[in-house]
Amino acid sequence: MNTHRPFSRLAKSLFFVIGFTWSLSASAEPFAYINNFSDSTVSVIDTATNTVVDTIGGLGSLPFGVAVHPHGNTVYVTNNNSSSVSVIDATTNTVVATVAVGSGPIGIAVHPDGSTVYVASGAFSGISVIDTATNTVVDTIATVPALYGIAVHPDGNTVYVTQAGSVVLVIDTATNTEVDTITVGSQPQGVAVHPDGDTVYVANNGNNSVSVIDTASNTVVDTVTVGTAPNGIAVHSNGRAYVANRDSNTVSVIDTTTNTVVDTVTVGGSPRGVAVHFDGNTVYVANLSSNSVSVIATATNTVIDTVTVGNGPNAFGQFIKPPTNFLTISPASSSFMTTQSFDLGLIVDAPGFTVTGGTATLDDVDISAALAGCIVPGTLISGGQTFRCPNLTGDFLGEGSHTLNVALDLSDGSSVSDTVTWEVVGNTEP
């Protein structure tokens, strides 16, 4: 049986903490988009079954880089020989637009809020900035030529671009200007930012190493020796970085807490692109010369499946959509004793969306008004935001079983929700 005391007695000390962190929506969550360099197609892999379920044509010549929009509804592919970007509608798997960019585009990345695409070109002195709403180039960031890989920081404020002169360019997205240059290893290619935003990992193709950059100081703090001719790189939130070594047909697994190689996985021929599946259980590797994709289980670092795709799969970039939106209530379902300083946390992952509304019930009693003080409709979600709700109304948790449900509506019409049940075994409230 539930026993309650007036919530107003606790209002001064009880608050919600709403933490907005890094993640995305679910429109295309089962699929990997593998652009095939030699036949100008994209193989669409259903990652639930590891089978090719569609092949997309109509791209430009020599498709090289790829990036999936955070909402999962659009895929962007650079066409190296056509100096363009193909825009693919992921709901129909058709090319819906072609955007002319700087000569010889290679790397491509999407801003976490989904509004902008950044394109690094190998034969052009600049980064093309594409507005995703109009599929037009709205700015060109002046740089030196011979750019390769590109990645955006989780907070959306910084872009990192590798350049053939053994450097990484640092771009401020607020001004679209180059603000720093970091010297790394020889011929840097792939670049990835750790999900926590503290470090950047750069695959140096020319000297078989990975440079580790501290994002606070923009300095190289470590160098890790890997396989031969490292190309693509991806970082898992579990603290592992995966490096595709093109000339040794392997993937080096780096422990990012110690910056040491803890495993080496043999894959197909000439691995190039690598991406972590959004559920964290698998890593997909595009093998350029064997026309296949290797599927690695992250728990064992073993290849558990091989998928045949088109000719010359490159897939250089984020070819699988990042994690889905979710809401987590903290504390989780458990038994505990409450005090006057009982804190409730709602952890929401959905950058690029806005919150349009929300509901909450405690033991089937509507306490939705508690959300209004801290979640303002129209708030754009990005990494690291924190909101507090200091003036809650409702009932105090007495001894017994209590169930809390919270649901938040997002701007694409979807919602995130979570439910917990707490068993209160003691109460120190006088």
pLDDT of 198 above 50: yes
Determine the Cα–Cα distance for residues 363 and 7; give it in Å rounded to an integer. 14
Answer yes or no: is pLDDT of 19 > 90. no
Task: Give the model's pLDDT for residue 179.
Answer: 98
Task: Give the pLDDT band of residue 35 (cuts 50, 70, 90).
Answer: very high
CB 32 within 8 A of CB 319: yes
Can you tell me the mean pLDDT for 152-175?
A: 95
- Is residue 383 scored above 60 in pLDDT? no
Higher pLDDT, 364 or 20: 364
3-state SS, 135-195, equals CEEEEEEECCCCEEEEEECCCCCEEEEEECCCEEEEEECCCCEEEEEEECCCCEEEEEECC
**Mean pLDDT (whole number) for 150-176:** 95
pLDDT, tens digit, 9 for 90 and up, residues 275-290: 998 778 899 999 999 9
For the chain, give the number of residues: 430
Indicate the range of 173-187, 297-311, 364-378 predicted with least confidence. 364-378
**pLDDT(5) > 50:** no
What confidence tens digit (pLDDT) does each residue in 403-414 have? Answer: 888 887 776 666
More confident residue, 421 or 52: 52
- Which pLDDT does position 325 carry in this prediction? 58
Distance of CA 280 to the CA centre of its chain: 11
Arithmetic mean of pLDDT, 342-364 = 70
Residue 117 pairs in a beta bridge with: 110, 130
Q: In this predicted model, what pLDDT tens digit does every residue of 365-378 receive, in sequence order?
A: 887 776 665 665 55
Query: Cβ atoms within 10 A of the Cβ of 159, count?
Result: 26
Q: What is the mean pLDDT of residues 215-226?
A: 98
pLDDT at 363: 84
Mean pLDDT of 425-430: 58
Q: What is the pLDDT of residue 25?
A: 30
Do 253 and 298 meet the contact criterion of CB atoms below 8 Å apart?
no
Residues 6+ apart with CB under 8 A from 263: 252, 253, 301
What is the pLDDT averaged over residues 47-73?
94
**192 has a pLDDT exceeding 80:** yes
**Average of pLDDT values for 301-307?**
98
Q: Which residue has the higher pLDDT, 134 or 401?
A: 134
- Kindly list the distances between the CA atom of residue 148 and the CA atoms of 122, 193, 231, in Å, as whole numbers in the listed order: 6, 15, 10
Position 6 confidence tier, pLDDT thresholds 50, 70, 90? very low
Mean pLDDT of the chain: 84
Please report the pLDDT score of residue 372 as a whole number: 63
Q: What domains sit in the chain, N to C, each tagged with a CATH number?
A: 4-21+325-427 (2.60.40), 31-318 (2.130.10.10)
Of the listed ranges 253-262, 280-289, 344-353, the least confidently predicted one is 344-353
pLDDT of residue 329: 66
What pLDDT, in 10s, does the model give residues 96-115?
999 999 999 999 999 987 88
- Above 80 in pLDDT, residue 2? no
